[in-house]
Amino acid sequence: MGYDTDKIANGLMENYKTLFSPLQHKKISILEIGILEGGSLLYWDNYFQHLETVIVGLDLSLPSVEFSDRVKVFKCDQNDNKGLRTIAGEYGPFDIIIDDGSHFRKETENCFRELFAEVAIGGYYIIEDWAAGYWRDRPMYAGMVELINEIIARIPELSISESRVILEKNKALAFFRKGETGWQE
Ligand SMILES: C[S@@+](CC[C@H](N)C(=O)[O-])C[C@H]1O[C@@H](n2cnc3c(N)ncnc32)[C@H](O)[C@@H]1O
Protein backbone atom coordinates (compact mmCIF):
# COMPACT_ATOMS: atom_id res chain seq x y z
CA MET A 1 0.00 0.00 0.00
CA GLY A 2 1.24 3.49 -0.84
CA TYR A 3 1.06 6.22 1.79
CA ASP A 4 0.54 9.86 0.92
CA THR A 5 3.30 11.30 3.10
CA ASP A 6 6.58 12.97 2.16
CA LYS A 7 8.24 11.09 5.03
CA ILE A 8 8.80 8.20 2.61
CA ALA A 9 10.28 10.17 -0.31
CA ASN A 10 12.57 12.25 1.90
CA GLY A 11 13.85 9.16 3.71
CA LEU A 12 12.56 10.05 7.17
CA MET A 13 10.70 6.75 7.51
CA GLU A 14 14.03 4.90 7.45
CA ASN A 15 15.15 6.93 10.48
CA TYR A 16 11.80 6.45 12.16
CA LYS A 17 11.81 2.70 11.63
CA THR A 18 15.22 2.45 13.34
CA LEU A 19 14.11 4.67 16.21
CA PHE A 20 10.66 3.16 16.70
CA SER A 21 11.34 -0.55 16.17
CA PRO A 22 11.55 -1.27 19.94
CA LEU A 23 8.06 0.23 20.24
CA GLN A 24 6.49 -1.50 17.26
CA HIS A 25 4.77 -4.22 19.29
CA LYS A 26 4.28 -2.29 22.52
CA LYS A 27 1.19 -0.46 23.64
CA ILE A 28 2.01 3.18 22.97
CA SER A 29 0.39 6.55 22.45
CA ILE A 30 1.64 8.70 19.58
CA LEU A 31 0.68 12.26 18.69
CA GLU A 32 1.43 13.79 15.32
CA ILE A 33 0.95 17.51 14.78
CA GLY A 34 0.05 18.02 11.11
CA ILE A 35 -2.18 15.50 9.35
CA LEU A 36 -2.55 16.87 5.80
CA GLU A 37 -3.99 13.94 3.78
CA GLY A 38 -3.56 11.49 6.67
CA GLY A 39 -0.78 9.47 5.00
CA SER A 40 1.53 9.38 8.00
CA LEU A 41 -1.28 8.47 10.41
CA LEU A 42 -2.26 5.59 8.12
CA TYR A 43 1.39 4.55 8.02
CA TRP A 44 1.67 4.56 11.83
CA ASP A 45 -1.57 2.62 12.07
CA ASN A 46 -0.03 -0.06 9.87
CA TYR A 47 3.42 0.05 11.49
CA PHE A 48 2.53 -0.10 15.18
CA GLN A 49 1.05 -3.49 15.91
CA HIS A 50 -0.34 -3.43 19.45
CA LEU A 51 -4.14 -3.43 19.35
CA GLU A 52 -4.35 -0.89 22.17
CA THR A 53 -1.89 1.55 20.63
CA VAL A 54 -3.46 4.95 20.04
CA ILE A 55 -2.46 7.25 17.18
CA VAL A 56 -3.58 10.84 17.60
CA GLY A 57 -3.38 13.57 14.98
CA LEU A 58 -4.23 17.24 15.03
CA ASP A 59 -4.48 19.84 12.30
CA LEU A 60 -6.30 23.04 11.34
CA SER A 61 -8.54 20.97 9.07
CA LEU A 62 -9.15 17.25 8.70
CA PRO A 63 -8.96 15.09 5.57
CA SER A 64 -11.89 13.01 4.45
CA VAL A 65 -10.14 9.75 5.18
CA GLU A 66 -11.63 6.84 7.06
CA PHE A 67 -9.25 5.95 9.85
CA SER A 68 -9.39 2.86 12.01
CA ASP A 69 -10.64 3.04 15.59
CA ARG A 70 -7.07 3.32 16.85
CA VAL A 71 -6.63 6.69 15.09
CA LYS A 72 -8.12 9.80 16.69
CA VAL A 73 -8.02 13.09 14.79
CA PHE A 74 -8.73 16.56 16.09
CA LYS A 75 -9.23 19.97 14.56
CA CYS A 76 -6.84 22.02 16.66
CA ASP A 77 -4.49 24.94 16.06
CA GLN A 78 -0.92 24.58 17.26
CA ASN A 79 -1.41 27.89 19.05
CA ASP A 80 -4.48 26.68 20.93
CA ASN A 81 -3.05 25.70 24.30
CA LYS A 82 -6.41 24.77 25.75
CA GLY A 83 -7.04 22.41 22.82
CA LEU A 84 -3.54 20.93 23.09
CA ARG A 85 -4.00 20.34 26.82
CA THR A 86 -7.40 18.70 26.30
CA ILE A 87 -5.96 16.27 23.75
CA ALA A 88 -2.94 15.56 25.96
CA GLY A 89 -5.21 15.09 28.97
CA GLU A 90 -7.19 12.44 27.15
CA TYR A 91 -4.42 10.57 25.32
CA GLY A 92 -1.13 11.50 27.02
CA PRO A 93 1.43 10.87 28.23
CA PHE A 94 2.75 10.20 24.76
CA ASP A 95 5.56 7.83 23.88
CA ILE A 96 6.10 9.79 20.69
CA ILE A 97 5.19 13.33 19.67
CA ILE A 98 6.06 14.41 16.13
CA ASP A 99 5.69 18.06 15.17
CA ASP A 100 5.16 18.06 11.41
CA GLY A 101 2.84 21.06 11.48
CA SER A 102 3.43 24.62 10.33
CA HIS A 103 7.24 24.57 10.77
CA PHE A 104 6.93 28.19 11.86
CA ARG A 105 8.94 29.11 14.93
CA LYS A 106 6.07 30.49 16.99
CA GLU A 107 3.85 27.42 16.58
CA THR A 108 6.71 24.94 16.93
CA GLU A 109 7.97 26.62 20.09
CA ASN A 110 4.48 26.83 21.53
CA CYS A 111 3.83 23.12 21.01
CA PHE A 112 7.21 22.18 22.48
CA ARG A 113 6.61 24.39 25.51
CA GLU A 114 3.12 23.00 26.01
CA LEU A 115 3.64 19.35 25.08
CA PHE A 116 7.16 18.31 26.07
CA ALA A 117 5.78 17.84 29.58
CA GLU A 118 3.31 15.34 28.06
CA VAL A 119 6.05 13.02 26.79
CA ALA A 120 6.44 9.81 28.81
CA ILE A 121 9.81 9.11 30.40
CA GLY A 122 11.87 7.40 27.69
CA GLY A 123 9.61 8.84 24.99
CA TYR A 124 10.50 11.10 22.10
CA TYR A 125 9.64 14.65 21.07
CA ILE A 126 10.51 15.10 17.41
CA ILE A 127 10.61 18.24 15.31
CA GLU A 128 10.63 17.70 11.55
CA ASP A 129 11.77 19.97 8.74
CA TRP A 130 13.37 22.55 11.03
CA ALA A 131 15.97 23.27 8.30
CA ALA A 132 13.31 25.36 6.55
CA GLY A 133 14.80 28.02 8.80
CA TYR A 134 17.82 28.18 6.49
CA TRP A 135 15.69 29.30 3.54
CA ARG A 136 16.46 33.02 3.34
CA ASP A 137 13.83 33.54 0.63
CA ARG A 138 11.08 32.22 2.93
CA PRO A 139 11.20 34.42 6.01
CA MET A 140 8.12 32.79 7.54
CA TYR A 141 10.38 29.94 8.68
CA ALA A 142 12.91 32.27 10.30
CA GLY A 143 13.99 31.23 13.76
CA MET A 144 13.56 27.46 13.35
CA VAL A 145 17.28 26.70 13.33
CA GLU A 146 17.72 28.95 16.36
CA LEU A 147 14.86 27.18 18.15
CA ILE A 148 16.54 23.79 17.76
CA ASN A 149 19.79 25.29 19.06
CA GLU A 150 17.97 26.84 22.01
CA ILE A 151 16.42 23.51 22.95
CA ILE A 152 19.84 21.84 22.71
CA ALA A 153 21.29 24.56 24.94
CA ARG A 154 18.64 23.74 27.57
CA ILE A 155 18.99 19.94 27.42
CA PRO A 156 20.21 19.52 31.02
CA GLU A 157 17.39 21.53 32.59
CA LEU A 158 14.74 20.03 30.31
CA SER A 159 15.44 16.44 31.44
CA ILE A 160 16.42 15.36 27.95
CA SER A 161 18.48 12.18 28.17
CA GLU A 162 19.43 11.93 24.53
CA SER A 163 19.18 14.04 21.42
CA ARG A 164 19.96 13.56 17.77
CA VAL A 165 19.86 16.09 15.01
CA ILE A 166 19.81 14.82 11.46
CA LEU A 167 20.50 17.24 8.65
CA GLU A 168 20.96 16.14 5.09
CA LYS A 169 19.79 17.63 1.82
CA ASN A 170 15.97 17.67 1.97
CA LYS A 171 15.95 15.92 5.34
CA ALA A 172 15.94 17.50 8.77
CA LEU A 173 14.90 15.84 11.99
CA ALA A 174 15.58 16.68 15.61
CA PHE A 175 14.62 14.31 18.36
CA PHE A 176 14.73 14.80 22.07
CA ARG A 177 14.33 11.83 24.41
CA LYS A 178 12.83 12.47 27.80
CA GLY A 179 14.95 11.42 30.77
CA GLU A 180 14.03 10.83 34.42
CA THR A 181 15.42 14.09 35.73
CA GLY A 182 17.47 17.03 34.61
CA TRP A 183 21.22 16.88 34.94
CA GLN A 184 21.31 19.96 37.11
CA GLU A 185 18.96 21.30 39.75
C1 LIG B 1 3.68 18.86 6.26
S2 LIG B 1 1.95 18.79 6.47
C3 LIG B 1 1.72 17.33 7.45
C4 LIG B 1 2.08 16.09 6.73
C5 LIG B 1 1.77 14.79 7.45
N6 LIG B 1 2.31 14.75 8.78
C7 LIG B 1 2.35 13.66 6.66
O8 LIG B 1 3.48 13.21 6.96
O9 LIG B 1 1.68 13.23 5.71
C10 LIG B 1 1.68 20.09 7.58
C11 LIG B 1 0.29 20.22 8.12
O12 LIG B 1 0.35 21.16 9.21
C13 LIG B 1 -0.89 21.82 9.27
N14 LIG B 1 -0.76 23.08 10.00
C15 LIG B 1 -0.21 24.25 9.58
N16 LIG B 1 -0.33 25.20 10.51
C17 LIG B 1 -0.97 24.62 11.57
C18 LIG B 1 -1.41 25.10 12.84
N19 LIG B 1 -1.21 26.36 13.21
N20 LIG B 1 -2.06 24.25 13.66
C21 LIG B 1 -2.28 22.95 13.28
N22 LIG B 1 -1.88 22.43 12.08
C23 LIG B 1 -1.24 23.27 11.24
C24 LIG B 1 -1.28 22.02 7.81
O25 LIG B 1 -2.67 22.19 7.70
C26 LIG B 1 -0.76 20.74 7.16
O27 LIG B 1 -1.78 19.79 6.99
pLDDT computed for residue 71 by the predictor: 98
Global pTM reads 0.97
Catalytic site residues? 103
Taking 70 as the threshold, does the pLDDT of residue 184 lie above it?
A: no
For 49-98, the pLDDT digits (tens) are: 999 999 999 999 999 999 999 999 999 999 999 999 999 999 999 999 99
Ligand 1 in reach of 107 Cβ (< 6 A)? yes
Taking 70 as the threshold, does the pLDDT of residue 183 lie above it?
A: no
pLDDT computed for residue 181 by the predictor: 77
Ligand 1 in reach of 38 Cβ (< 6 A)? no
- The minimum-distance atom of ligand 1 relative to the CA of 101 is 12
Ligand 1 in reach of 10 Cβ (< 6 A)? no
**How much is the average pLDDT of 30-41?**
98
How far apart (Å, rounded) are the C-alpha atoms in residues 37 and 61? 10
What Å distances lie between residue 1 and 11, 12, 61, 63, 168, CA to CA? Answer: 17, 18, 24, 18, 27
The CATH number of domain 6-178, selected from 3.40.50.1000, 3.20.20.140, 3.30.830.10, 3.40.50.150? 3.40.50.150
Which residue among 5, 16, 36, 110 has the greatest number of ligand 1 atoms within 8 angstroms of its CB, and so is best to mutate? 36
Q: What percent of the chain has pLDDT over 70?
A: 97
Ligand 1 in reach of 133 Cβ (< 6 A)? no
pLDDT computed for residue 2 by the predictor: 85
For 114-161, the pLDDT digits (tens) are: 999 999 999 999 999 999 999 999 999 999 999 999 999 999 899 999
- The minimum-distance atom of ligand 1 relative to the CA of 128 is 1
Q: What residue segments make up the domains of the chain, in order of their start?
A: 6-178
Radius of gyration over every alpha carbon of the chain, rounded to an integer in angstroms:
16
